Homo-oligomer: A and B are copies of this chain.
Amino acid sequence: MEFLVRIQVRLPPDMPADQRQVLLQAEAVKARELMAEGLLMRIWRVPGRQANVSLYRAQDADELHSAISGLPLWPSTEISVEPLATHPLEASPSS
């Protein structure tokens, strides 16, 4: 099952640059793991904002929550999750 996930990062503006750098790098490492495992399928930058939209494929909401809440930036984010169903056009693309 697929999920559309929106993540807005809310790091304090006065966070030291190096601390921010360390955090963002750890985030990227973890995100690449989720991509390698096939959970994180696509990810886009929301233009102009420290935010992203992403597409996850997970067994259910439990597996999804486990993946997202393991991201290093998780305590400093606002997240919303939207469940997606298969559209008939993708279920039978040539019928």
Contacts and interface: CB of A to CB of B under 8 A. Distances in A.
A83 B86 contact: no
A25 to B, nearest CB: 11
Interface string A41-83: 0111111111011100000111011001100000110011111
Given A4-B53, A28-B89, A83-B81, A65 B43 contact: no
In which size bucket is the chain A interface? Answer: 35 or more
A80 B8 CA distance: 12
Q: How many monomers of this chain does the complex have?
A: 10
A20 to B, nearest CB: 9
Contact of A1 (B50, B60, B75, B82): B60
Contacts of A60: 1, 60, 85
B45 A88 contact: yes
